[in-house]
Structure 1
Amino acid sequence: MQQYPLIVALDFPTKEEVNQFLEPFQNQQLFVKVGMELFYREGIPFINELKEKGHQIFLDLKLHDIPTTVKRAMKQLAQLEVDIVNVHAMGGIEMMRAAKEGLIAGTKANGSVPLCIAVTQLTSTSEAVMQNEMKIPFTINDHVLHLCHCVKEAELDGVVCSAQEVRIIRENIPSPFYTLTPGIRRLSDSAHDQQRIVTPQLAAQYGSSAIVVGRGITRSDNPVEAYQLYFNEWSQR
């Protein structure tokens, strides 16, 4: 796995649109994110197609259920041999432990267990929404840090969080601890539905392990050029 990957979010409804997007990259091997919309439509065969083309895969399904169900689901997902999978940290320590157990049990002999990371607070969630609608009476930083301690106790590999929280995580959570950060925008890009956004350069400075970029690349008139601009900023570590 790349040490500090730039992960491209394939937020398209069909594999035809994904293939159209990937065509200009001329067989370049990317690290891509496949989310719920695309996976629910195209399923396992499309994951296999991406793997055959040499792409690394973050399968972003955000599992959140009772521990037994999550364990069984992860056992199935492990057989896809993707690179990263995730759960919701608010499912609790027992659920997160069950997820890792399922991954280990489902990984083929001599295979690599995918990184298992946990979503803390979505980057579309503001502190006001968290406090007023979710009734979580803390700051975003405090709550994310609390969830990180739970993730560490559950022995998962790290978290999905905003890059804005990475510095406090690095100061308080022992390494190794993977921080994958969506909500990345260049200064010239629209924020869209994201609230806690950070530029690629700042994400690198804060210590993010990986960044996820979607519309800034996928909706660009020149995706290859946009990818390179993001990559260049991200690489200035």
Structure 2
Amino acid sequence: MNKVFIACDFNSREQLTAFLAKFPPQPLALKLGMELIYAIGFEIISELKQQGHTIFLDLKLNDIPITVEKALTALKHYQVDFVTIHLTSGQKTLQLAHRIVQNTNIKLLGVTVLTSLDNMDVQEMFLSSTLTTNELVKNLAKMAANNCFYGVICAPSEVTVIKQHFPNLKTVTPGIQLTSDQTDQKRVATPLTAKKLGADYLVVGRAITMAVDPVAAYQEILTIFTKGAEI
């Protein structure tokens, strides 16, 4: 399985089509988030699946158990490969989510702490002067492991602690950059660093989609992550 997901953060079908047309005909791993799905609708999932692409649906479900249950039941129709759920939804929601996707090909990924947040942010949110993102991610990852999730979404810097305590969880890491340019993400890393830390999958958006040559950028990242060395 291709382990580099391209974050297709476009807001029109035309932008998505033009981007994918730059690639040779081949199956890709595509992350479809709120920006794209809310703009053009869910049927794009079926179209991309028919083209052979792996679909990571990143809607970050976060609600009461019955609402998440109904959402996942509806999403089964589209035969997506991965779906994200906020682990802060709570034990009952996570337990029910696992039950809903049993006997399907859907892999559940638990969202831990968004990469746009740092220690100061989580301390403010949880009224704690000592809480760290590492500690919060570890606690949330435990909930994912207890409910048989396939993996978790975490920053590269948290992969090691998750692998130490929950070796069966796959780690999917956004915040991947080829340069040190400023973005709205705070906990970031290069593909090589993420590889060395033990990440199982990468999610890469602007480093590919906004590159002068997206195909070359994608191939560079894929090679670095696959071979574990700069090219």
Both proteins in one fold, TM over 0.5? yes
| Partner Cα distance (2:127, 2:34) in 1 | 27
Task: State the shift of 1:191 in Å.
Answer: 3.6
Equivalent of 1:205 in 182, 196, 205: 196
Equivalent of 2:115 in 115, 120, 123: 123
* 1:8 alignment counterpart: 6
| Partner Cα distance (1:87, 1:172) in 2 | 21
| Partner Cα distance (2:90, 2:125) in 1 | 20
* 1:165 alignment counterpart: 158
Q: What stretches of structure 2 of length at least 5 have no aligned partner?
A: none
Equivalent of 2:143 in 140, 144, 150: 150
Task: State the shift of 1:88 in Å.
Answer: 0.2
Task: State the shift of 1:58 in Å.
Answer: 0.2
Aligned to 1:25, the other structure's residue is in SS state: coil
| Partner Cα distance (1:54, 1:13) in 2 | 22
Equivalent of 2:65 in 59, 67, 72: 67
Q: Which amino acid aligns with 1:71?
A: E
Equivalent of 1:224 in 186, 203, 215: 215
TM-score by length of 2: 0.94
Q: Which amino acid aligns with 1:203?
A: A
Task: State the shift of 1:135 in Å.
Answer: 2.6
RMSD over aligned CA atoms reads 1.4
| Partner Cα distance (1:54, 1:204) in 2 | 26
Equivalent of 2:184 in 193, 205, 221: 193
* 2:49 alignment counterpart: 51
| Partner Cα distance (2:41, 2:124) in 1 | 37
Percent identity of equivalent pairs = 36
Instruction: Report if the CA contact (8 A) 1:72-1:102 is conserved.
Output: no
* 2:17 alignment counterpart: 19
| Partner Cα distance (1:135, 1:115) in 2 | 33
* 2:40 alignment counterpart: 42
Aligned to 1:226, the other structure's residue is in SS state: helix
Task: State the shift of 1:53 in Å.
Answer: 1.1
Task: State the shift of 1:52 in Å.
Answer: 1.3
Deviations 1:87-108 (A, max 9, x none): 000111111111122223xx6x
Task: State the shift of 1:153 in Å.
Answer: 1.2
Task: State the shift of 1:189 in Å.
Answer: 5.0
Aligned residues, how many?
227
* 1:182 alignment counterpart: 174
| Partner Cα distance (2:74, 2:100) in 1 | 8
* 1:28 alignment counterpart: 26
Which sits farther off after the overlay, 216-225 or 43-52?
A: 43-52
Task: State the shift of 1:202 in Å.
Answer: 1.2
* 2:101 alignment counterpart: 103
Aligned to 1:18, the other structure's residue is in SS state: helix
Task: State the shift of 1:230 in Å.
Answer: 1.0
* 1:132 alignment counterpart: 124
| Partner Cα distance (1:190, 1:12) in 2 | 21
TM-score by length of 1: 0.91
Deviations 1:130-181 (A, max 9, x none): 10134355111111001111111122122100011000111111x3211111
| Partner Cα distance (1:36, 1:49) in 2 | 17
Which sits farther off after the overlay, 194-203 or 92-101?
A: 92-101
